[in-house]
Amino acid sequence: MPIDISTPLALPCGATLRNRIAKAGLTEGLANLRNQATEAHCRLYRRWSLGGAGLLLTGNVLIDRSCMERPLNVAVDGNLDEGGRAALAAWARAGTEGGNAFWMQINHAGRKSPASITPQPVAPSAIPIGAAVGPGRARRHGVPRALDEGEIEALIDRYVATAVTAREAGFTGVQFHAAHGYLLAEFLSPLANHRQDEWGGALENRARMLLEVVRRARQALGADYPIGVKMNSADFQRGGFTPGEAEQVALWLQAAGVDLLELSGGSSESYAMLGQPGESEESALLTRSTAEREAYFVLFAEAMRKVLDMPVMVTGGFRSRRAMDAALAAGAVDIVGLGRPMCLEPDLPRRLLADRDAVAPSPEADMRPDPAAAPDDAPPAAVQAALARAPVAYFAEQMVEMGAGRAPDLKLGLYEAGRRYLEREAEAAAAWCAARADEAA
């Protein structure tokens, strides 16, 4: 029988996903100042849960409040009292209301933590985010401090403890984020990891932290609980993590008991996860993958599926039901991940499942930031900053709308989206830092 997006998927652990559509992880920025889940999370994920997907993934849930990806991420780090544990349970209930699976995406920001909240983040090595991002972007991240071996072990324990907390709260699985230049991806990348001990150098050493997280989590969670990993197919930078290395790490992850591998790519220095090729050798394949199959990483996934038995998910670029079905039928992927389209049409999976000719919205194809949209008296630097963040901010603001119980604002302009986002993040950073100082006093 042909496989399409409506076909259930049995995972190695024994759990079954009701269809092949997943809402991918998207950072929400909806937590309170204690980094606890809120009613906004419940509203947003209840809406997605009722939208028909087989699997929902949360955005970043951080394991360390001293090194956040955004000031209002959810975190599991000494803040489970005073309602934190109950808030996670409420989020899990809302996110499973439609009968779908709901997995917590677990992460540590590493050197990507913004300087506005983390003047000195931690990383495998004391290597800052490079000049490839441009001087303005580079200033948004501090020079990291290299972790010592005891700290690495402690962080592994935190990843596992957070996974156990997720299961106790009612999340039906977990995904460890090892992509996009966050901490686990930094350990994998020879550009970010210059260590000379057992955590750096050879690939098996660079992969050690990720593999230890998975192995210890499998032991703590049991054989029947779904564990996923999000990993780069490549860094898309010269001298970075390569597809060949990704394939070897994937084989190790499969042996360690991973149930689902989500393939992505890029980091703060190479935006492959947004379909923007870099200058590496792999970039030509990224461009060809997008042209041939819509999705950015599907050719990487297709090559990896030839050596893997565990299911593979690809997020980024998929828009038409026909392309999704074709990739599934060819065995290139096992699950189709949707991110930005779900911010505009939360019921999109139902429409895709009902109509073989359905196409997801893709407003980013027509996004052309226009300085003329800004008020005449707006400072040029502020206009430039808002428009630079606009393509990301547009979708982030849609999650804010749905978290408030409103429909997505499809008339939102790019300048206004960028302005709101930057204003909201600046206010959140100031308030969060003040709250942290009060906690420490």
Mean pLDDT of the chain: 89
Please give the share of the chain, as a percent, with pLDDT higher than 70.
Answer: 88
What is the rounded average pLDDT of the residues 15-31? 97
Question: Tell me: the pLDDT tens digits for 176-221?
Answer: 999 989 999 999 999 999 999 999 999 999 999 999 999 999 999 9
Question: Tell me: the pLDDT tens digits for 81-118?
Answer: 878 999 999 999 999 999 999 999 999 999 999 999 99
pTM: 0.91
How big is the CA angle at 290 (ends 286 and 291), to the nearest 5 degrees?
115
pLDDT at 11: 98
pLDDT at 440: 87
Contact 47, 92 (CB under 8 A): no
What is the rounded average pLDDT of the residues 15-27? 97
pLDDT at 273: 41
pLDDT at 266: 45
Q: For 9-366, which CATH superfamily applies?
A: Aldolase class I (3.20.20.70)
Question: Residue 321 and residue 236: Cα distance in Å, rounded?
Answer: 28
Residue 280 pLDDT exceeds 50? no
Contact 299, 267 (CB under 8 A): no
Q: Are strands 312-315 and 9-10 parallel, antiparallel or unpaired?
A: unpaired
Structural domain spans, the chain: 9-366, 369-441
Q: How many CB atoms lie within 10 A of CB 100?
A: 25
Angle between helices 243-256 and 298-305 (to 10 degrees): 50
